[in-house]
A = this chain, B = another copy of it.
Amino acid sequence: MTKEDVTMMILSAKKQAGLTWEEIAEKIDMSPVWTHSACMGMNGFSKDKAEALVSVMGLPQEAVSVLEEPPTKVWEQSVPTDPCIYRLYEIVGVYGPTIKALIEEKFGTGIMSAIDFDMQVVRVPHEKGDRVKIEMSGKYLAYNAW
């Protein structure tokens, strides 16, 4: 049983149960972003969260240890083609140097961690059309000098 197998089981169980990712996330008491990415095999579960998910989704017990395995994070398109994901890539291309300059101005020479990191995706009502709001936060890491 691989991580891919478990992802397939989760998607199938989700469809059958008519659950949203938000609902699944709530049931295991984690955020929707983390929950979805971990179910896709892009993050590893702690033992108790793996057990919670197995119980919520009615997965076989063997899935617990698979969900706990550390993920190998692989993506195959260095430039993504799906329009929804490409727009994010475009934002990095256009605004990446700006984010870098403002981090350096506010913190010093360093980066925002993508490991000690969290993210939310929110729907914000707006009269000219609702907006997608993405909030990322990562620990500032200063470059070491030695």
Binding site for B on A (CB under 8 A): 15, 20-22, 30-34, 36-38, 40, 42-46, 49, 65, 70-75, 77-119, 121, 123-124, 126, 128-146
Contacts and interface: CB of A to CB of B under 8 A. Distances in A.
B141 A131 contact: no
A117 B91 contact: yes
Pairs of residues from A and B, 6 with the lowest C-beta to C-beta distance, nearest first: A112-B132, A85-B96, A118-B146, A70-B109, A87-B114, A84-B111
Copies in the complex: 10
B77 A99 contact: no
- The prevalent SS among residues of A at the interface is mixed
A83 B72 CA distance: 9
B134 A112 contact: yes
A137 B145 contact: no
A75 B81 contact: yes
10 contacts: A45-B145, A73-B82, A79-B79, A83-B90, A87-B113, A91-B136, A106-B132, A131-B140, A134-B136, A135-B135
A30 B96 contact: no
